[in-house]
Amino acid sequence: MEMLRDENWVLSVGTFLPMVGVLLLLIVPKANDQLIKMVALFTSIATLAVGVFTLFKFNFDQAGSMQFVAENKWIPLIKSSYFIGVDGISLPMYVLSMVITLLVVIYSLNHIPSPGNPKAFFILMLVLQTGMAGTFIAQDLILFFVFFELVLLPMYFMIGVWGGENRQYASLKFFLYTMFGSALMLVAFLALFFKTGAESFAIPYLVENGGAIARNVQIWIFAGMFIGFAVKVPMFPFHTWLPDAHTQAPTQGSVILAAILLKLGTYGFIRIAIPILPEAAKAWAPYIGGLAVIGIIYGALGCLAQTDMKRLIAFSSVAHMGYVMLGVSTLTDFGMSAAMFGMVAHGLITGMLFFLAGSIKERYHTLEISRLGGLLTQMPRMGWILGMASMASLGLPGLAGFWGEFPAILSAYNPADGLNVTVFRVYMVIAALGTVLAAAYLLWLFQRVAFGEPKAEFAGGAHGADDHGSGHGHSQFEDVNKFEWIAWTPLLIAIVVFGVVPNLLFSMIDPAVHGILAGFKG
């Protein structure tokens, strides 16, 4: 693969800029809330600016090639290097992580969850940003692993400290699950390293040489990676950490988790597992696809059983990531592109839904669906935004969600050569059934939360549930406020724009996906 090495400082700067913010934050006194917020805000703006700069400098005509490639010695002894670069697959996720972080920071400006301490909160968020961005640019397995793990602790603390009542259980569960997966993943990486002659951990090198590994060895190595990534995605049956983590996490944590963290898993499949081990990928694909469609149906059923709005949205992630994984499992360029699009779309949409859940919780102090109702009467704008997000989530054409879902289903009709067509067609039908269930739970949610009249306990305004509601003790609840507008508008716009002009993304993803699947051609 051709490597473009122009302006190769860009990625490093973009990735590590948040760490500069962290250092600045460390010296800001804890009491100076305003300054802390400003530092965090400007750091994330600056980071995004670098990201946008990257976007402008990116050569879209060669989206299939690695660009801004930088390669430096890192751990020469184990032949691991600081090797970074982006192509059409990495770039959208890389920039998305920056956008989401900025929006979350903006949202946090007046939504620091209990027990406060914005300094620590923002520091964790910025560390998280470095980890996420780094994972998407790493072109070396060890570097990838380090970044992949870097996101773990901040998220653990974010859930564990700023989370809901059951936060400790949830955070530990999240952590142990992921640790378990990544331990096996690391073992798989090492096995890969040795089986390709212990020459290099660089992904391009492994892609070239991974195919030569004996098939049954490939299958075992793939198994290790599979568990590592599947936990993160999360795929059925490794998903049980997700609802707890989402339910307990603070809004910001949920948004980042849904929008970016889950994608680390699918990204790992697309970037690492499949191109390096094509034979194993073929052997595993039917099972991955099977688990994916089980996830679709199962997640949807899980949603229908929920009484808590946030938990419902969390379960819907299981279903949506099922579509992504179905696309991946077809091993076709079409399916992969669909999966990539699905990742971005799910990030935007579910992120939005979690923002909404957070804001609703903040106002009503509950997310029990049975206690909510009449959102449209009390906060019409928020209600309609919820409606739009739900519609996008259930895959309405013209909104971003559709382009993740429909092509994924489409791709299952014609999986790659060598895969069992009948099996995948069955998957296709099941996945299509999933769209119906998706409509069911999302609209049901919307109907119960937004329609109807507000329940008696909230009908009088903010005096209902909380006893410290002096902050907004008007007779009405406060509709979407300015911080929320600023944080949400870009998401909403992106959902529509990507829905109407999907080519914005596809043109970027497509050439890169071809490169990923090059191993299957020969």
Q: Which of residues 307-336 bind other proteins (CB under 8 A)?
A: 332-334, 336
- Binding flag, residue 485, other proteins (CB under 8 A): no
Q: Shortest CA distance to 113 belongs to which of 153, 156, 160, 152?
A: 160
Q: Which residue lies nearer to other proteins by CB, 3 or 410?
A: 410
Angstrom distance (rounded) from CA 67 to CA 473:
54
Q: Which residues inside 182-201 make contact with other proteins, applying CB under 8 A? A: 183-184, 186-187, 190-191, 193-194, 198
User: Could you give phi then psi for residue 368, rounded to 5 degrees?
Assistant: -60, 120
**What minimum distance in Å lies between the beta carbon of 473 and other proteins?**
25
CA distance 222 to 273: 6
Cβ at position 314, least distance to other proteins in Å = 11
Name the residue nearer to other proteins (CB basis): 42 or 220: 220
Match 């992969």 to its residue by tokens: 336
Q: Is 179 in the site for other proteins (CB under 8 A)?
A: yes
Note whether 155 and 261 are within 8 A (CB).
Answer: yes
User: How many C-alpha atoms does 215 have within 13 Å on its Cβ side?
Assistant: 4
Q: Which is nearer to other proteins, 142 or 259 (CB)?
A: 142
CA angle 255, 259, 262 (to 5 degrees): 110
SS3 2: coil
The answer to whether residue 385 forms part of the interface with other proteins (CB under 8 A) is no
Binding residue for other proteins (CB under 8 A) from 211, 407, 464, 515?
407
Query: Would you call 413 helix, strand, or coil by DSSP?
Result: helix
Contact between 76 and other proteins per CB under 8 A: yes
Return the SS3 of 331.
coil
Q: Which is nearer to other proteins, 48 or 388 (CB)?
A: 388
Contact 95, 55 (CB under 8 A): yes
Residue 219 within binding range of other proteins, rule CB under 8 A: no
Check binding of 84 to other proteins (CB under 8 A): no
176 lines the binding site for other proteins (CB under 8 A): yes
27 forms part of the interface with other proteins (CB under 8 A):
no
Instruction: Give yes or no for residue 472 binding other proteins (CB under 8 A).
Output: no
- Residue 498 token pair: 């990507």
Q: Which of 41, 55, 369, 439 binds other proteins (CB under 8 A)?
A: 439
- CA 331 to centroid of chain Cα atoms: 21
Residue 150: closest CA among 46, 44, 251, 264: 264
Element holding 86 (H helix, E strand): strand 80-86
Helices (H), 258-379: 262-268, 274-276, 278-304, 309-329, 333-364, 375-378
338: contact with other proteins by CB under 8 A: yes
> Is the Cβ–Cβ distance between 203 and 225 less than 8 Å?
no
Closer to other proteins at the Cβ: 35 or 120? 120
**73 makes contact with other proteins (CB under 8 A):** yes
Candidates 151-159, 252-260, 261-269, 467-475 — which segment interacts with other proteins by CB under 8 A? 151-159
Is residue 423 a contact point for other proteins (CB under 8 A)?
no
Q: Does 153 bind other proteins (CB under 8 A)?
A: yes
**Residue 301 binds other proteins, judged by CB under 8 A:** yes
CB of 185 to other proteins, least distance (A): 10
Q: Please tell me whether residue 436 binds other proteins under the rule CB under 8 A.
A: yes
510 binding other proteins? (CB under 8 A): yes
Q: How far apart are CA 272 and CA 335, in angstroms?
A: 16
Residue with tokens 């951990």: 201
Instruction: Show the binding pattern over residues 108-127: x = contacts other proteins (CB under 8 A), - = does not.
Output: -------x-x-xx-------
